Structure 1
């Protein structure tokens, strides 16, 4: 069992919002937070517009692949953040659940994905402040 907090991001396809959120959290928290992402119906690949938008801010998510949501992933996480996956996410007592209503970047170009990316960044910085993980700066 790890002392560091663990966060699971869940969206339907695990190809846009959850991948960008995971990328932001890894970038800002480093090893201080364990990061997972998954989808209730995973896509074939991460949305290329999401990859491009994240690359613009120096975060490479091009090596990520959509993963299926498992009960084990939820059970192993302290915080579960859903982004439009509805009732597909299992609920376990003692977990913290947040639902972030974010626009789905599916089918959108990079110009439309940038504001979603930026909104996710703000939410991740707020989450880090709440988690107060050791060694994490929310201002970098």
Structure 2
């Protein structure tokens, strides 16, 4: 522990308090022990690739809350009022982040979106952030997340982008594979091209889900 860090601000204390809040939120669905396990597992998973740990407990709390929601949905304990779409690529730092952001932007409240990576990077690619900013879509609050079984189980549609066989396959789900170049090895113009290809795919997906795109 950093001797200058107040005890109440240590990662463990922050995570314990987050676990308590989430245990109340998911009361009657998960036990306190289950919630705490998911919170600390989420922190450990993000810490494996994080280069800066300052905001890691808060990101882990967000990640854990989304995982718990997904797990509750897969068990039927929480209703799914709209289709759940999961985008998966290798690093969750380029293609899947752009796809998730575009689907949120165009699908609005008609769809719920998640993204993950089979081998998540530490940060979202700079050129990816710049290309999305050009469409007035801000990725500042997004972060690479590892692929977990719970988010796959909760999804209605799973869309992979170059992650091979990393994504588990469950019956009753719709699986798609979008063949797209990896932005990590492209120039900014190349990233823009991939972004526009993803947007076209997203518009087709919305049509197939019978969701009217936002203007």
- TM class by shorter-chain length? over 0.9
1:104 corresponds to 2:175: no
Larger fraction in strand: 1
Map of 2:139 onto structure 1? 61
1:137 corresponds to 2:213: yes
1:17 corresponds to 2:68: no
CA distance in 2, matches of 1:102, 1:108: 12
Gaps of 5+ in 2: 1-78
- Quote the offset at 1:27 in angstroms: 0.4
- Quote the offset at 1:3 in angstroms: 2.2
CA distance in 2, matches of 1:125, 1:71: 27
Q: How many residues get paired? A: 137
Pairwise mapping of residues 15-94 of structure 1 onto structure 2 (< 5 A)? 15-94=93-172
- Quote the offset at 1:19 in angstroms: 0.1
CA distance in 2, matches of 1:129, 1:117: 19
Instruction: Give the SS at the match of 1:86.
Output: coil
Larger fraction in helix: 2
1:116 corresponds to 2:194: yes
Q: What's the Cα RMSD here?
A: 1.0
Q: C-alpha deviations, 1:2-41, integer Å up to 9, x for none? A: 1200100000000000000001000001121000000000
| TM-score where L is the length of structure 2 | 0.62
CA distance in 2, matches of 1:132, 1:6: 14
